[in-house]
C-alpha cells in the first residue's frame, strides 16, 4: 500500500547538518525500495477555485503559512504502522513541525 507523507512549513531554518542527514535518509529509503518519489514544493503556489461556471485563479503566497505543504514523499509500505515509523524517523531529522500521512488509492 502507498502513503503520501506531506510536511508543513516550520519555523526552524534548515542547516547544513539537516541536509546531510536528510540526504542519507532519502538514500537509505530509496535503496530499501520503500521511497517511490519525493520532492520539495514552492511555498506560494496558485489557488484555483471553481464556483458554478466560474473559475478563479489567485496567485500566492497565502496568509496561513503554517498550513502550507512544503514537501512530500510517496512511500510503498506493508502497513500503516510502517508509514508511521518512517514518518517518525523523518520528523526526528527535521525537528519541530507537522506532517500528515494519508493512504493513496488507485491509480
Q: What are phi and psi of 19, to 5 degrees?
A: -60, -40
Question: With contact defined as beta carbons under 8 Å apart, do 51 and 34 qualify?
Answer: no
Tell whether residue 78 is a contact of other proteins (CB under 8 A): yes
What is the dihedral sign for C-alpha 93, 28, 2, 72? positive
Minimal distance, residue 61 CB to other proteins, in Å: 29
* Binding range to other proteins, per CB under 8 A, among 14-22, 40-48, 60-68, 71-79: 71-79
* Binder of other proteins out of 37, 67, 100, 102 (CB under 8 A): 37
User: Could you tell me if 3 and 85 are in contact, meaning their C-beta atoms sit under 8 angstroms apart?
Assistant: no
Q: Contact positions toward other proteins, by CB under 8 A?
A: 30-34, 36-37, 74, 76, 78-79, 81-82, 84-86, 88, 92, 106-107
Amino acid at each position: 500500500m502507498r502513503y503520501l507523507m506531506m510536511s508543513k512549513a516550520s519555523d526552524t531554518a534548515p542547516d547544513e547538518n539537516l541536509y546531510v542527514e536528510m540526504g542519507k535518509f532519502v538514500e537509505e529509503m530509496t535503496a530499501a525500495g520503500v521511497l517511490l518519489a519525493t520532492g520539495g514544493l514552492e511555498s506560494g503556489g496558485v489557488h484555483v477555485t471553481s464556483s458554478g461556471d466560474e473559475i478563479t485563479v489567485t496567485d500566492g503566497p497565502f496568509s496561513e503559512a503554517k498550513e502550507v505543504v512544503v514537501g512530500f514523499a510517496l512511500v510503498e509500505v506493508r502497513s500503516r504502522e510502517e508509514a508511521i515509523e518512517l514518518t517518525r524517523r523523518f520528523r526526528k531529522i527535521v525537528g519541530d513541525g507537522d506532517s500528515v500521512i494519508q493512504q493513496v488509492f488507485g491509480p
